[in-house]
Structure 1
Amino acid sequence: MTSTQHSPPPPTIDLLLNLIDTRPQSILNSLSQHPQLAAASDAHGYSLVHAAVSYNQLEVLRELVQKHNVDVNLRDEDDESPLFAAENAGVASFLVQELGADWTVRNTEGKTAEEKIGGEEGEANEVYQYLRRLRIGYSGAARADLEAPEKEEVHPPPPLPDGVKINMGTMEEDAAGTAPDPEVRRRIEELAARDDFQTEEGQRKLRELVTEVVTGIGSEQTGRSVRRRLD
């Protein structure tokens, strides 16, 4: 009579949940052979992701999410994601910063992880403090974006006519003279606003105005010398 060897039965999700605290490597070995258990949960919706967070098993947590594509926001029967099970700020930060967990998830009571942990464990709890700082930082950044003034669009000035050149620089107050003649400024702006400014006729009128300003022609009409200011 020959004996027949039987393969051991596949592990159950309840068995793996009981092993995750003390034998995380066994969990990883079992998942390599039975990957369907990665996203499984017990009768209460408690999953290996929840357990890995609760017991701070980051290696198991990373493999579940990144290798087996388990949802990092997987919900249990109370609609709570694994973030609700975090017991230290390190694993909470790992969930949010590295694995992209949603810290705004609300459970069946309408509470976020921050609100639930703060209410049950007190505001001194490190996970509560981490989530609170996260929320305040996010709110502050969003508010700054909303309050930031719109940047005015800057357009380059129109090109000067052929043969006209402007030298930019600084001058002493005495050498600068009085402020530019507003009448000249108004006339230049009117020319620049014309539809035919870029045409030959528009450029001719601009050349005439520049010549008038540079040579001082028209200063009698304005009652001021524009030559010294714009020279």
Structure 2
Amino acid sequence: MASSPPAPTIDALLNAVPDHPATVLAHLSRHPHLASAQDSHGYSLLHAAASYSHAALLRALVRTYAVAPDLVDEDGETALFVCETVEVARCLVEELGASVGWRNREGKTAEERVEEEAEFVPVAAYLRQVMARGAEGADAGAAAGAGAGAGAEDAAADEVHHPPPLPNGIKINMGTIGEEEVGEAAPDPEFRRRIEELAAREDFQGEEGQRQLRELVTEAVTGLAADQQGREVRRRVE
């Protein structure tokens, strides 16, 4: 009788995640102990699945193989810190119970880390929105305990409203520039506000919403080209 093939190493499985998540699941069915395994840097299949946007693999790891959604690497970061799409971030938070308030070894949350890198703006906006909802819920509970009245009105006045996340597939990546040009080439907050407001509209996925999105992106790109002639400044809108 032929012997079973040896179990793959965690490094081999991690390398298979980007292009062959189904192969990873096949191996896990025979070697379930590898589901929560980590490499020498604490990187796990959960981190890899989040980074490469494989939501089905994420769900299997947590629901079928009981991997903790807040499993951390050597930097104290969970899979939420490496999400590149709102879809996967929402899967981790709303379906699998990942903590948006988790802080890494530098004391930063996933929202703060993603925002700092200025690469996946929709993910940062989504996480900021979730954290705001949590804070509002806590404030509402405190107000109810204290009773209605002036206190509740003050809490409502102090409430902070954050813009909704951008839609899946929309990213704004900011390149680096020289220190002497930082003040002039900082990301345009007005552009960001306009695109987030457009994403929050009910008709965003409709013909009119998509037409306005195209116009806004075209305006941003052409305006940047006119403003940055002769500079080594790059803004990429995907």
Matched, 1:142 2:138: yes
Aligned-residue offset at 1:7 = 4.5
Distance (Å, rounded) in 1 between the aligned partners of 2:65 and 2:3: 28
Aligned residue-pair number: 147
- Specify the alignment match of 1:62 in structure 2: 59
Partners of 1:34 and 1:70 lie apart in 2 by 14
Instruction: Give the secondary structure class of the aligned counterpart of 2:47.
Output: helix
**Partner SS for 1:137:** helix
Aligned partners of 2:118, 2:81: CA distance in 1, in Å? 12
| Partner residue of 2:20 out of 20, 23, 26 | 23
Q: Name the TM-score, length of structure 1 as normaliser.
A: 0.60
Runs of 5+ unmatched residues, structure 1: 152-231
**Which of 58, 76, 90 pairs up with 1:93?**
90
Offset, 1:8: 3.2
Which residue in 2 is equivalent to 1:165?
Answer: none
Name the CA distance, whole Å, in 1 between partners of 2:4 and 2:66: 28
CA RMSD between the two structures: 1.7
Report the counterpart of residue 205 of structure 1 in structure 2.
Answer: none
| Larger-gyration structure (1/2) | 1
Question: Aligned partners of 1:85, 1:138: CA distance in 2, in Å?
Answer: 21
Separation (CA, whole Å) in 1 of partners of 2:63 and 2:3: 33
> What is the percent sequence identity of the aligned residues?
46
- The equivalent position to 2:113 in structure 1, one of 112, 116, 126, is 116
Deviation, structure 1 residue 142: 1.5
- Structure 1 residues 110 and 19, CA, compared in 2 at 3 Å: closer, same or farther? same
SS class of match (1:38): helix
Aligned to 1:69, the other structure's residue is in SS state coil
For residues 67 and 7 of structure 1, what CA distance do their matches in structure 2 show?
A: 23
Select which of 128, 134, 139 maps to 1:132: 128
Residues 25-83 of structure 1: per-residue CA shift (max 9 Å, x gap): 11111000000100001000000000011111111111110010000000000000110
Letter in 2 for 1:113: A
Query: 1:51 matched to which residue of 2?
Result: 48
1:199 is matched with none
Quick check: which one's helix share is greater?
Answer: 2
- State the alpha-carbon separation in 2 of the partners of residues 134 and 60 from structure 1: 23
Question: What is the SS of the residue equivalent to 2:58?
Answer: helix
Q: Which amino acid aligns with 1:107?
A: N
Q: Which residue pairs with 2:181 in the alignment?
A: none
Structure 1 residue 42 and structure 2 residue 39: aligned? yes
Deviation at 1:98, TM superposition (A): 0.4
Tell me the distance in 1 between the aligned counterparts of 2:124 and 2:90: 11
1:84 aligns with 2:101: no
Match of 1:193 in 2: none
**2:14 is the counterpart of 1:10:** no
- AA aligned to 1:58 is A
C-alpha distance in 1 between matches for 2:76 and 2:86: 21
Alignment partners' CA distance in 2, 1:56 and 1:141: 29
